[in-house]
């Protein structure tokens, strides 16, 4: 790992800048390094910069289990003390700043002043719309949202939105070159695609607990061992297409559409009252059974690695 004064060897692949060296930034950096990109990182916090290389060891080891690589990927990493130095020569600038519009806009002003004129500025934002971000940019066409799912180095989804197809095409190619699966939104939307789906599901999961239909453990067990297992190999629409038997989606809608509408009508809109929050916290403590957050993250990652390896053997629908 090198600092501002020492640049890693050119690999022939586009240089990537990581702005924000937290959880998501570290995962993005590991993914890019593993696939041979030079990575230039920056964070406003000195401690985050100083510990960045060490925090990449675990995700890099996980990636090497999925697709072994020779050499030391950390030789391609440089950590910088200024935004200008970090964005220099970068083709893709992956921004992972806090979900604050003023913070992101201020950061983009620094980026645009120092970056290559055709560099892509990609925001990992999960909560903000694209339209919240570009005011102040001279060229908003170079800004896209590129929302990953946590942890990006193990979950391949990247949700893209921008206003310039050529920029999206270039970003799409770079992410695919790192094994990711980009999907594009047709319009700007809060929560993109996957977070809207996840939020809808969790709303009803909270409602089930709030109404006393089932506890947290039962709710999660039902999801993981039922539709969650099926969703890992096919999407919601395809699941109902197969649920229609020989008639497919048309058959399902004709015969079971009304029952689906009745289920929709019965779904709740819970409020996160103190009582509901207490039930959720108590329930997850029972389910965690004393395991710490790092222990749970390790178990999650091991399961994700096993699932990714299994999907290679049996492609999803």
pLDDT tens, residue by residue, 293-317: 999 999 999 999 999 998 887 766 7
The predicted pLDDT at position 10 comes to 55
Decide if 105 contacts 135 (C-beta within 8 A).
yes
Region of residue 12 (left: phi > 0; alpha: psi -120 to 50; beta: else): left
- Residue 125, pLDDT > 80, answer yes
**Which pTM was predicted?**
0.91
The predicted pLDDT at position 203 comes to 96
3-class SS string, the chain: CECCCCCCCCCCCCCEEEECCCHHHHHHHHHHHHCCCCEEEECCCHHHHHHHHHHCHHHHHHHHHHCCCCCCHHHHEEEECCHHHHHCCCCEEEECCCCCHHHHHHHHHHHHHHCCCCCEEEECCCCCCHHHCCCCCCCHHHEEEEEECCCCCCCCEEEEECCCHHHHHHHHHHHHCCCCEEEECCCCCCCCCHHHHHHHHHHHHHHHHHCCCCCHHHHHHHHHHCHHHHHCCCCHHHHHHHHCHHHHHHHHHHHHHHHHHHHHHHCCCCCCCHHHHHHHHHHHHHHHCCCCHHHHHHHHHHHHHHHHHHHHHCCCC
- Residue 171, pLDDT > 80, answer yes
The predicted pLDDT at position 76 comes to 97
- Residue 5, pLDDT > 50, answer no
Average pLDDT of every residue of the chain: 94
Domains of the chain: 16-184 (3.40.50.720), 194-313 (1.10.1040.10)
pLDDT tens, residue by residue, 21-30: 999 999 999 9
């Amino acid at each position: 790992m090198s600092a501002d004064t020492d640049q890693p060897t050119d690999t022939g692949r586009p240089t990537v800048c990581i702005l924000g060296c937290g959880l998501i930034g570290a995962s993005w950096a590991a993914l890019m390094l593993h696939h041979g990109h030079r990575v230039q990182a920056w964070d406003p916090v000195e401690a985050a910069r100083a510990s960045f290389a060490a925090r990449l060891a675990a995700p890099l080891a996980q990636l090497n289990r999925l697709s072994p690589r020779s050499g030391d990927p950390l030789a391609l990493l440089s950590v910088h003390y200024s935004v200008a130095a970090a964005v220099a020569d970068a083709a893709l600038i992956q921004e992972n700043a806090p979900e604050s519009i003023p913070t992101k806009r201020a950061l983009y002003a620094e980026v645009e002043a120092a970056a290559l004129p055709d560099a892509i500025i990609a925001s990992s934002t999960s909560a903000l719309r694209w339209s919240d971000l570009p005011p102040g940019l001279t060229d908003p066409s170079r800004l896209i949202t590129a929302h990953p799912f946590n942890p990006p180095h193990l979950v391949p989804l990247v949700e893209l939105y921008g206003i310039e197809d050529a920029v999206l095409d270039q970003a799409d190619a770079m992410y695919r070159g790192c094994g990711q699966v980009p999907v594009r939104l047709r319009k700007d939307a809060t929560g993109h695609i996957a977070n809207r789906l996840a939020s809808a599901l969790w709303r009803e999961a909270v409602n089930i607990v709030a109404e006393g239909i089932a506890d947290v453990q039962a709710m999660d067990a039902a999801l993981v061992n039922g539709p969650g297992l099926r969703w890992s190999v096919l999407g919601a629409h395809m699941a109902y297409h197969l649920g229609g038997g020989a008639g497919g989606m048309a058959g399902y809608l004709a015969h079971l559409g009304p029952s689906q509408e009745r289920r929709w009508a019965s779904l709740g809109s819970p409020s996160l009252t103190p009582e509901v929050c207490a039930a959720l916290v108590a329930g997850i403590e029972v389910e965690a059974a004393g395991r710490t957050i790092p222990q749970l993250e390790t178990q999650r990652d091991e399961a994700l690695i096993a699932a990714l390896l299994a999907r290679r053997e049996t492609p999803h629908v």
